[in-house]
Chain A
């Protein structure tokens, strides 16, 4: 069974640009959540999608947005990039939003903003 896949694995952008990251969950999983990982702030929750609806959102500015498609694939978009957006972005999938379920993480997309 294929795991969670994220594309691209690496990205280099400049300040002010926008970027779109993609996440394909494990087959059958309908919940996708996104996290930002930085050395200073650690792992922080961005948002969770289930059945194409955002179910929960973390404390990030509106420049960070996401969506989920009918096949459960998800994208997140960051507009007007800032240097501080440089991070590893991880997505995780599970069958549903049930708290007890294991979240399976992808390898991440490393975004560097110059």
Chain B
């Protein structure tokens, strides 16, 4: 069965510092992977997705992620954190042949210190 593991339930960075949120997946077939962000009292917003095209994926708000098959990873990065990036981030995998179902990781709460 496919699954997603996010390392670190809480990450804290200073404004202007590098943001690195880790995601590892388990899949026996090439996966489709997504990163979503959730602000307080809101739904989920897609940041970026990997669907078997380029391994380096660029998303909104300056985020990007690199699909590394050898490491089964899809880590999310942003070169310089902004206060507005404080939110919860979810990595998700779309299981093979299960339509639109998404399996989410447990989430990583990002705090940004001034």
Contacts and interface: CB of A to CB of B under 8 A. Distances in A.
Contact of B99 (A97, A104, A108): A97
A42 interface: yes
A27 to B, nearest CB: 17
Nearest to B98: A56
B90 interface: yes
A50 B100 CA distance: 10
Task: Give the most central of B34, B45, B92, B101: most A CB within 10 Å.
Answer: B101
Interface of B: 32, 34, 36, 41-46, 49, 51, 90, 92, 94, 96, 98-107
Interface in A35-85: 35, 42-45, 48, 50, 55-56, 58
Interface size class of A (residues with CB under 8 A): 20 to 34
Contact of B94 (A4, A42, A99): A99
B7 to A, nearest CB: 15
A108 B102 contact: no
Interface of A: 4, 31, 33, 35, 42-45, 48, 50, 55-56, 58, 90, 92, 94, 97-108
* Residue picked from B43, B100, B103, most chain A C-beta under 10 Å: B100
Given A45-B102, A94-B100, A99 B32 contact: yes
Given A100-B49, A107-B43, 20 more contacts: A33-B101, A33-B102, A42-B104, A42-B107, A43-B92, A43-B104, A45-B102, A55-B100, A90-B43, A90-B44, A94-B100, A99-B32, A99-B96, A99-B99, A99-B100, A102-B46, A103-B102, A105-B36, A105-B44, A105-B45
